[in-house]
Amino acid sequence: MPQPSQHPRFSPIGMFDSGVGGLTVMQQIMKHLPHEQIIYFGDTARLPYGEKSGETIARYAIENTIFLMDKNIKLLVVACNTASAHSMSKLRQLFNVPMVDVIEAGVHQAVLTTKNQRIAVLGTKGTIQSAVYENEIRKHLPESVVISVACPLFTPLVEENFAAHPAAKLIVKEYLASLRKAQADTVILGCTHFPLLAPLIQEELPHVILVDPAVSCAAKVASLLSSSQLEANASMGFRNHSFYVSDDPHKFSVLATNFLGGALPSVEKVSAWK
């Protein structure tokens, strides 16, 4: 933890997700900003967020943010599409900290990518029902056509290591059937688990460009820190990332290794809402 006397650029970046999915975003941030210290909170006692109501998700997001604010973070990354969809305006209203969310980042990248202004969005039910991707895309490209597809089984398939199983292929085919004639040239992977199914999705839709919001999310974090003169640098030395979860730390560690491609330091169990 930073000392009170230190410059805020020593403070950590805080990020939360419902579980391990946000680690795909963390990985991108670590790659782009190797000197930053990150505090990650996975709300594993209440996951998944994808099928729950907007009201409940917003409450969870507020509680998670209070937990991270208490750790003196200099920037908040909402690394969960469903939480981004339902809580950003509330979080921005309540908390005095710069924020980056995966949806804004994904939309930015998709708008730069599309040539024919036909963009598809794959997400959880919660994200799709919120229509937030659609609304955000239309702000930049009012004439665009946005095709949204809820893919609720993608997350459990990834969590259960079925991403390479023939059943996953059938389920991908089923969910994407409506997209085969939609002529979208750009497909947003609107859930942090979905990049792990990218090979199957690309096989089913060979002519589209897949957009992983994690990549532009990391770029946005970098530019925001830089413009606020809050970025860490090499002279600060190596500082450990911290991982907190609201349920079993061991299970998180095991799953996280698949996502981050390496062993985690310790994971601590906490309750964000007590």
Instruction: Please state whether 261 falls in left (phi above 0), alpha (psi between -120 and 50) or beta.
Output: left
Instruction: Pick from 25, 52, 137, 259 the residue near a second copy by CB under 8 A.
Output: 52
Instruction: Pick from 1, 6, 31, 160 the residue near a second copy by CB under 8 A.
Output: 160
Instruction: Pick from 6, 56, 178, 228 the residue near a second copy by CB under 8 A.
Output: 56
DSSP assignment of 147-164 equals EEEE-TTHHHHHHTT-TT
Instruction: Pick from 171, 210, 218, 221 the residue near a second copy by CB under 8 A.
Output: 171
First-to-final CA distance of the chain: 21
What is the size of the binding site for a second copy (CB under 8 A)? 25
3-class state of residue 105 by DSSP: helix
Asked if 53 touches a second copy (CB under 8 A), the answer is yes
Residues 189-248 that bind a second copy (CB under 8 A): 246-248
Pairwise CA distance, residues 158 & 154, whole Å: 6
* 191 is an active site residue: yes
Residues 12-51 that bind a second copy (CB under 8 A): 44-46, 51
Q: Which of 119, 137, 191, 219 is an active site residue?
A: 191
Q: Considering only the stretches 24-32, 149-157, 182-190, 205-213, report the one whose residues sit in contact with a second copy under the rule CB under 8 A.
A: 149-157
* 80 is an active site residue: yes
CA 16, 21, 27, 29 dihedral sign is: negative
- Who's near 156: CB < 8 A, 6+ residues apart? none
| Strand 186-189 with 242-245, pairing | unpaired
**Two tokens, residue 176:** 């994407």
Instruction: Pick from 135, 164, 174, 228 the residue near a second copy by CB under 8 A.
Output: 174
Catalytic center residues? 80, 191
* Residues of the shown chain interacting with a second copy in the complex, contacts defined by CB under 8 A: 44-46, 51-53, 56, 152-153, 156-157, 159-160, 162, 165-168, 170-171, 174, 246-248, 251
